A and B are shown apart, each in its own frame.
Chain A
Amino acid sequence: AQSVTQPDIHITVSEGASLELRCNYSYGATPYLFWYVQSPGQGLQLLLKYFSGDTLVQGIKGFEAEFKRSQSSFNLRKPSVHWSDAAEYFCAVVFMDSNYQLIWGAGTKLIIKP
């Protein structure tokens, strides 16, 4: 079955440090890729998406993600985190043969140390 893996359940970084959140998906044709963020008690907000073209995608709030086909990965990065970035981050993938349904990772909770 197609799957999306976010290997880190929690990540703790210091404010001002760089961040990388990992996302891997099961092998298949080039999927469509998304990152969402969820603050406590809130819905999900789209950070960025990749459909085709340049494999480095810029999103909102200073986030970017890079699609690496050879590694089946779509990792999310930010050069310098702020306390307001503390939230849960979800990677989601649409596989071409999944009836266009989003397959979700389990999420990574980001904790910011002051």
Chain B
Amino acid sequence: KAGVTQTPRYLIKTRGQQVTLSCSPISGHRSVSWYQQTPGQGLQFLFEYFSETQRNKGNFPGRFSGRQFSNSRSEMNVSTLELGDSALYLCASSGQTGGQKTQYFGPGTRLLVL
């Protein structure tokens, strides 16, 4: 099975712009989670989608949004970019639900905001 894929791998944007990142989960996986990783804050949970519905949300401002399509592919959008949004954005998919779900990660999208 192909792994989790994320596009693009690298992005450079300027403050005030918006950005859309894409994630294709492992075939058959219906849960997709997004994380932001920075050197200072570590791994922070953004949100989780399951069957096109947002199931959980982390503590991020409304500028961060996401959606999931019927084929389980997911996108996340960040509007009005700030310098502090520079980070590695990781997507993870899972085939299970509940506590025993095992998340499999993509390579990430590295976003640089200038």
**10 A-B pairs with the lowest CB-CB distances in the bound complex, closest first:** A43-B105, A44-B105, A104-B43, A43-B107, A94-B99, A32-B99, A100-B99, A43-B108, A106-B42, A43-B106
Give the A-binding residues of B (Cβ under 8 A).
4, 6, 42-43, 45, 48, 56, 90, 92, 97-108, 110
Task: Determine if A102 is an interface residue (Cβ-Cβ < 8 Å).
Answer: yes
B31, closest chain A residue (CB): A100
A42, closest chain B residue (CB): B107
**B99 contacts A46, C-beta separation under 8 Å:** no
Binary per-residue interface labels of chain A (27-59) against chain B in the complex, 1 for a CB within 8 Å, 0 otherwise: 000011010100001111110010100000000
A-B contact pairs, 8 of them (CB 8 A): A43-B4, A43-B108, A44-B92, A46-B103, A46-B104, A94-B99, A94-B100, A104-B42
Instruction: Count A interface residues, CB 8 Å.
Output: 22
B44, closest chain A residue (CB): A104
Seed contacts A32-B100, A41-B110; 15 additional CB < 8 Å A-B pairs: A42-B107, A43-B6, A43-B105, A43-B106, A45-B105, A46-B102, A46-B103, A90-B43, A94-B100, A96-B99, A100-B56, A100-B99, A100-B101, A101-B45, A102-B45
